[in-house]
Amino acid sequence: MTIDLATLLTQTHPYDGLPPEDQAQLAGELSEQRFDKDQVIYQIGRQQQSLYLILEGRVDITDAAGELVSILGPRNSFGERGLMKDGIAATTATAAEPCTLVLIPTATFHRIVSDHPSVKRFFDRTRPATSRRHDLTTMALAEVMTPTPLTCPPETSLIEAARLMRDHAVSCLIITRNNVPDGILTTRDLTNKALAEGLPYDTPVTRVMTADPVTLPPTALVADVLHAMIERGITHMPVVDGGKLVGILTQTDLTRIQATSSDALIRDITQAVNRAELAQIVGRIPQLLVQLVGADNPHQVVTRLITDIGDATTRRLLAMAEDRFGPPPVPYLWLACGSQGRQEQTGVSDQDNCLILDDTATVEDDRYFAALAKFVSDGLDEAGYFYCPGDMMATNPKWRQPLRVWRQYFNGWITTPDPEAQMLASVMYDLRPIGGQHSLFAGLQEDTLAKSARNSIFVAHMVSNSLKHTPPLGLLRGFATVRSGEHKNTIDLKHNGVVPVVDLGRIYALRGQLTQANTRARLAAAMEAGIISTAGGRDLIDAYDMIADTRLAHQAEQIKRSEAPDNFMAPATLSDFERSHLRDAFVVIKTMQSAAGSRSGPLS
């Protein structure tokens, strides 16, 4: 492959930000090398001579355990971790297919990193290819601490301090001067040092507080807190960054966090006695999301665990409804569609559901199921799964019908694919049984997929409908952000990031008659079935992973700031590295959309 290296640098981040004279000097120091398929480029633990930039082909990066941690394509750089540390490769790089690489010598790499802060920031942001953490003790305090703890000045009296702690329902106060902690006052101090000694109520807190308390930085681990608490017999740990108070972690917090797991929530849900108790339990999901994201769990794990909680909540409400209204008169099946149907719920989810009734159901029977649907949907709304704005719920008689009517619905959508039919089919193809008689769905799903795949006109309409959501790509390698309103200068990570991939996954499922509802599972199955090429599928999965992970990280940060999570993220909050790779992910999606719109053979 012949290409002018100077031109390549002007098109590739972070080198495109270098001054022209530095680009020209760098271009003169580069060389090209060809690698065959399966050839090792460098090996973990060995001396590494260069930074690499992929000109064409693909490269797999694996860790010490042989686990695949990255799949790289053209315009990606790799190998910086070893060079920035001690020149010893931190991973193994292998040519996944014949490839041409541009080699940047070690000395050259160190020079441009040293001379250009933007380049250094780009490579500093590269995350280590280590195994995912799943243990609370290995999480950083920044991920679990309570921000902005309650404080008071040194001259505060004991009675004022006690009232502050009572009114805010906390067990300690941090005594500060200009947000620098001088001491800590706990309820135990008030009991043992003030009340037991009969000190006057107007005594300053400085007489009783523990001066110069033990503190830790936000980068410390939860394990460090546990060790300090055990060793020193303390129960509260102020978190200090640059001498300033930024948070606190207490024994009570640790107990609460350990109790906030998907297993614990589901156990509590199964034992809930009413809807109010269910809502209280489900209200712990935001903290769970923060913990799961903070522990570096991939998005497909986080959303699956959160969806499991939604499923358990729905089934508990169904059981409560049957206890209240009696056993169902005929078999039924409650199904979820939307994000719950795909097992992709996040911190922002409404409810999309429906009921399939046995064909023997009568008008009288429907009165029972109308009451059941209202009870369950009302309970979901109380728990934070808000009513669907489009009324796509079992409370709507249209979506509470016998099986024969559902067959008519799908047949009608397939034979007459008008815009409304396309929209409804898009939603309903994500159906997943939650509670009831699952056999009511099996035959319907198989028949519908077969009829859909045979109707090329319907599939073409569905493809056209799926391309309405486009990635937020602007000119000059920028993002097309929202131009006005409360979300001005942000990108919608849901409708312009996740949804385009969801739509593609649904199209692949239709073409291949794939029964999976989960988007990532659909992409993998489509690759295996030859609906999309291996290269295109791997690129799309990587792009989807990056966008979905970014969306969850954004929501977790909002929750930590006590804000309601949403899907609107300002690109300015990202590093150059993150912006560059997020844009690359959007480019992949745009490419796959173009391929889907002009299909001929496996999509690449």
For residues 217 and 225, give the distance between their C-alpha atoms in angstroms, rounded to a whole number: 10
Neighbouring residues of 330: CB distance < 8 A, sequence distance ≥ 6: 357, 358, 360, 361, 365
> Do 451 and 411 contact (CB within 8 A), yes or no?
yes
For residues 83 and 126, give the distance between their C-alpha atoms in angstroms, rounded to a whole number: 13
Query: Shortest CA distance to 269 belongs to which of 223, 313, 328?
Result: 313
CATH 2.10.210.10 fits 136-254, yes or no: no
Q: Class of the 5-124 domain?
A: mainly beta
Residue environment code for 343-363, b if the CB has 16+ CB neighbours within 10 A, otherwise e? bbbbbbbbbbbbbbbbeebee
For residues 342 and 593, give the distance between their C-alpha atoms in angstroms, rounded to a whole number: 20
- Rounded to 10 deg, the angle between the 499-512 and 456-466 helix axes is 170
For residues 456 and 419, give the distance between their C-alpha atoms in angstroms, rounded to a whole number: 16
**CA distances (Å), 156 to each of 166, 191, 500, 503, in order?**
15, 17, 56, 59
For residues 31 and 82, give the distance between their C-alpha atoms in angstroms, rounded to a whole number: 20
Neighbours of 378 (CB within 10 A): 14
Residue 124, pLDDT score: 59
pTM: 0.64
> Do 309 and 282 contact (CB within 8 A), yes or no?
yes
Neighbouring residues of 176: CB distance < 8 A, sequence distance ≥ 6: 151, 152, 153, 182, 245
Residue 258, pLDDT score: 63
State which amino acid sits at residue 175: I
Residue 3, pLDDT score: 61
Query: Shortest CA distance to 77 belongs to which of 123, 27, 142, 8?
Result: 123
Residue 134, pLDDT score: 46
For residues 555 and 55, give the distance between their C-alpha atoms in angstroms, rounded to a whole number: 35
Q: Class of the 260-449 domain?
A: alpha beta
Q: Where are the domains of the chain?
A: 5-124, 136-254, 260-449, 467-597
Neighbours of 480 (CB within 10 A): 14
Question: Which residues of the chain are modeled with pLDDT < 70?
Answer: 1-3, 17, 63-71, 85-86, 118, 121-137, 256-260, 475-477, 599-604
For β-strands 172-177 and 151-152, DSSP reports them as: parallel
One fold for 136-254 and 260-449: no
Q: What pairs with residue 60 in β-bridges?
A: 71, 94
Rg of the chain (C-alpha set): 28
Residue 398, pLDDT score: 95
| DSSP 8-state class, residue 484 | S
Tell me the per-residue pLDDT of 129-178, one tens digit each, with 9 for 90 and over: 333 444 566 778 887 888 889 999 999 999 999 999 999 989 999 999 99
For residues 236 and 213, give the distance between their C-alpha atoms in angstroms, rounded to a whole number: 9
Residue 64, pLDDT score: 66
Residue 602, pLDDT score: 46
For residues 23 and 42, give the distance between their C-alpha atoms in angstroms, rounded to a whole number: 26
Residue 7, pLDDT score: 80
Residue 132, pLDDT score: 42
Residue 599, pLDDT score: 61
